[in-house]
Amino acid sequence: MKKILVTGGLGFIGSHTVVELQNEGFEVVIIDDLSNSSESVLDGITSITNKKPFFEKLDLKEKSSVENFFKKHNDISGVIHFAASKAVGESVENPLLYYENNLNTLIYMLKEVLNLKESNFIFSSSCTVYGQAEKMPITEEAPTQPAESPYGNTKQVGEEIITDTCKVSPNLNAIALRYFNPIGAHPSANIGELPIGVPQNLVPYITQTGAGLRESLSVFGNDYPTPDGTCIRDYIHVVDLAKAHVIALQRLLDNKNDSNFETFNVGTGVGSSVLEVITAFDNVSNQSLNYKFAPRREGDVISAFADTEKANTVLGWKAKSSLNDAIGSAWKWEQKIRNL
Ligand code: WQD
């Protein structure tokens, strides 16, 4: 049984990936500093898979702790590195926190991965690296744009750090997955997204409004050059996204990769407007969401959706869930955690 380290494994995408890894027979070890997650997520994972993953609370910024961890676990065959801070606005307020949390930790991890017998590494990147792309759908060859935020910059620089390291370390095999907009929850509703405070992202804001925690959703801008005037994104079900990680890991373990650093878009290929997401919510929840139009939000791109050809044909992965499925699972989760 191959042992896989998942950093940030109690977070939103990490926890869903742990479930898919366990379902495929991997032994999973998790490290997480619990800064944006809770140890109770372990119970949620275990209730789905009947296997409790090993967990150690560890702050990846503490280099010596990372070194000690790898001394104890030198039989790891692959690392999926989710642990990072992800609030765009907070990163503008506190850039050094973001550079330290997202880049120092990446460097410490890579140093350790290089010492493993099997140096397989998967990095959480983001469609934010493309900025406002000229052509839709966005291919992996689309040029990256100067980042809108320190958060976005940590994803770009993160990819560059891996590129440079792979050039001089032929044994290192890495894949960066560029996520579009992950949403939803496990169909069991035993794990899902747990935003702290007021959600900044669309779908948790919608489900919290539907649950009565927020009065009304502000739709940021209805004068964009899109069919209904609202922004377009590629919303991907977190379970589909989690499965992409397992397939990418298997590609590395089987040495099927074409080069020692590859990047793949992970999206559905379908663009949905904010109003379409609201309609999907209304359909799955049998209610009519309270929303109002508000000014544009600074830094938002007009439209971003993935060209999934490379992920489909080279990686052999394809998103299966519809927008309604994904929103339905997010709503089921919200109802469960609010005891509705
Ligand atoms: C989606 C759409 C908003 C909230 C961000 C990061 C990205 C990635 C995912 C994370 C936009 C609109 C939102 C609201 C709204 N990183 N909206 N009212 O901005 O595409 O991507 O999250 O880890 O790097 O930038 O996602 O969910 O915030 O917004 O109208 O209250 O919903 O304007 O069009 P975004 P989002």
Cβ contact 211:338 at 8 Å: yes
Q: Which one, of 190, 221, 224, 203, lies nearest residue 297 by Cα? A: 221
**Å from CA of 232 to ligand 1 middle:** 10
Nearest CA to ligand 1 atom 19: 300
Specify the pLDDT at position 40: 97
User: Mean pLDDT over residues 113-140, rounded?
Assistant: 98
Q: For residue 64, what pLDDT is reported? A: 97
- Return the residue whose CA atom lies nearest to atom 36 of ligand 1: 201
Number of other CB atoms surrounding residue 158 within 10 Å: 24
Q: Cβ–Cβ contacts within 10 Å for residue 3, how many?
A: 16
What are the pocket residues of ligand 1 if the criterion is a CB atom closer than 6 Å to any ligand atom? 86, 88, 126, 128, 181, 200-202, 205, 217-220, 231, 233, 274, 297, 300
Edge-to-edge strand order for the sheet containing 232-233?
Answer: 272-273, 232-233, 303-304
Residue 168, classified by CB atoms within 10 Å of its CB into exposed (0-12), middle (13-18) or buried (19+), is: exposed
Q: Alpha carbon of 310 to those of 211, 262, 263: distances in Å?
A: 38, 11, 9
Q: Which atom of ligand 1 lies nearest, measured to the CA of 203?
A: 27
Closest ligand 1 atom, CA of 182? 9
pLDDT band at 70 (very low <50, low <70, confident <90, very high): very high
Q: In whole numbers, what is the pLDDT of the chain averaged over residues?
A: 98
Q: How far apart are CA 161 and CA 186, in angstroms?
A: 32
- Using an 8 Å Cβ cutoff, are 6 and 29 in contact? yes
- Sorted by where each starts, the structural domains of the chain and their CATH numbers stand as 3-182+238-266 (3.40.50.720), 202-233+269-306+316-337 (3.90.25.10)
The pLDDT value recorded for residue 24 is 98
DSSP code, position 138: B
Tokens 């702290």 map to which residue? 196
Three-class SS state of 14: helix
> What's the 41 CA to ligand 1 centre distance in angstroms?
24
119/287 Cα distance (integer angstroms): 49
**Which tens digits make up the pLDDT trace of 250-260?**
999 999 999 99
For residue 122, the CA-to-ligand 1 centroid distance in Å is: 24
Instruction: Dump pLDDT digits (tens) for 147-189.
Output: 999 999 999 999 999 999 999 999 999 999 999 999 999 999 9
Structure tokens at 293: 């139009």
Contact 32, 14 (CB under 8 A): yes
Chain-centre distance of CA 185, in angstroms? 12
Taking only the tens place, the pLDDT of each residue in 186-245 is 999 999 999 999 999 999 999 999 999 999 999 999 999 999 999 999 999 999 999 999
| Residue with CA at minimum distance from ligand 1 atom 33 | 220
Express each pLDDT in 268-296 by its tens digit.
999 999 999 999 999 999 999 999 999 99
Q: Which of 233, 301, 238 is nearest to 272 (CA)?
A: 233
Enter the pTM of the model: 0.98
* pLDDT number for residue 16: 99
Annotation says 98 is catalytic: no
Q: Which of 300, 305, 323, 327 to mutate to test the pocket of ligand 1 (most atoms within 8 A of CB)?
A: 300
H runs (alpha helix) in 35-130:
41-49, 63-72, 88-93, 95-99, 105-114
Residue bearing the CA closest to ligand 1, atom 21: 181
> In the prediction, which pLDDT does 48 show?
98
What is the per-residue pLDDT for 169? 98
Catalytic residue among 151, 179, 224, 235: 151
In this prediction, residue 126 carries a pLDDT of 98
Peptide bond into 295 cis (omega under 30): no
User: What pLDDT does residue 177 have?
Assistant: 99
Q: Atom 28 in ligand 1: which residue has the minimum CA distance?
A: 201
C-alpha 100/C-alpha 112 separation (Å) is 18
